[in-house]
Amino acid sequence: MNKLIYLPTVLLAFMVSCNTQKKASKFRFDTPAAGTLVKLGESVPLKLIFPADISSFDSVVYSMDGVVLARKTDSTSVTLDTEKAALGSRTLSAKLYHNGEERIAHSNIVVVPPAPKRYSFKVIAEYPHDPGAYTQGLEFENGVLYESTGQTGRSTLRKVDYRTGEVTKKIDLAATSFGEGMTIVDDKIVQLTWRDERVGFIYNKNTFAKIGEFAYGQSLEGWGLCYDGTRLIKSDGSGRLYFLNKDTYAEEGFVEVYNENGPVDSLNELEYIDGKIYANVYMQDIIVIIDPKTGAIEGEINLIGIYPDKASHDNELNGIAYDRQGDRLFVTGKLWSKLYHIELVER
């Protein structure tokens, strides 16, 4: 029995030794390790482990996302400055040239922004809100609240007197439609549906007459929508925000959203305020403030406890509206009986 145990042990030791030697002889990155989080602006040493069978070489070319960073003829490390790097996963490569041969090493870093400013809130005023409204989109213009509500067979587009909660104008969507986010573009209202239809609807703002629709592009679900004065900005529950042409509704690009810990997904209802995107995070009492140019989360608003009657996952925070004339921020949620005018308190 001892011999039966001894033989596999020797084989195992031999295999481990071979693997160790193979790893030691492989051309690879020593630092950074794959997936290393790097704060935007930090310097990162790029250090390589060279094959044991190569004592000299012609050159090493370092690149990030295919763009050459440096060329070297020795084994000393290179310093990567991330000041101008885009957020997210950045691919690193090093190409070793020796006797007409090329060897490649790969790694990656995840560039993240600094920690955001943290805010709590102060309730300035409370207003009645329809507790049967499954709020999916909210917009404030010229003293009037516009609202999109969801649920199949119950979805609506409505105009509301925010002071009383009275619905002054309303249309019902088709029984098959699940209403989602909405925004106002000039004299039109643009409303999303969720995922079955994969279309958005366009209405006359004054009459609510439907005047068109558009199909989704790469982003196949409709969650939140806002307008920055030039483009529509659409969320789909992922960590991406898509930019749409305001006239053709075609996707023209996207930005990925990150905080100091990495990517942030479940972005939901949106509002554009003073050059920033405010976004509900699905199933959380949190609004994040996003730089649309970089995707960096620059602020985080903690709204835990604002609505005391939350009882299920179906009545979470999901409504942001901004009164530009009065500089007022409003929030509500699905099936909430209150609309809140709040102020932010930096912590």
The domain spans of the chain are 24-112, 117-346
The mean pLDDT value for 233-238 works out to: 96
pLDDT at 346 (0 to 100): 92
pLDDT of residue 26: 87
- The pair phi, psi for residue 176, each rounded to 5°, is -90, -10
Distance CA 209, CA 182 (A): 15
Q: What is the residue whose two structure tokens read 């929508």? A: 225
Tell me the pTM: 0.87
pLDDT of residue 9: 38
CATH number of 117-346: 2.130.10.10
| pLDDT mean over 151-172 | 95
State the pLDDT confidence band at 25, using cuts at 50, 70 and 90: low
Cα-Cα-Cα-Cα dihedral sign, residues 29, 93, 259, 262: negative
Annotation: CATH topology of 24-112: Immunoglobulin-like (2.60.40)
According to DSSP, the residues that pair with 210 across neighbouring strands are 203
Rounded Cα distance between 274 and 191, Å, is 22
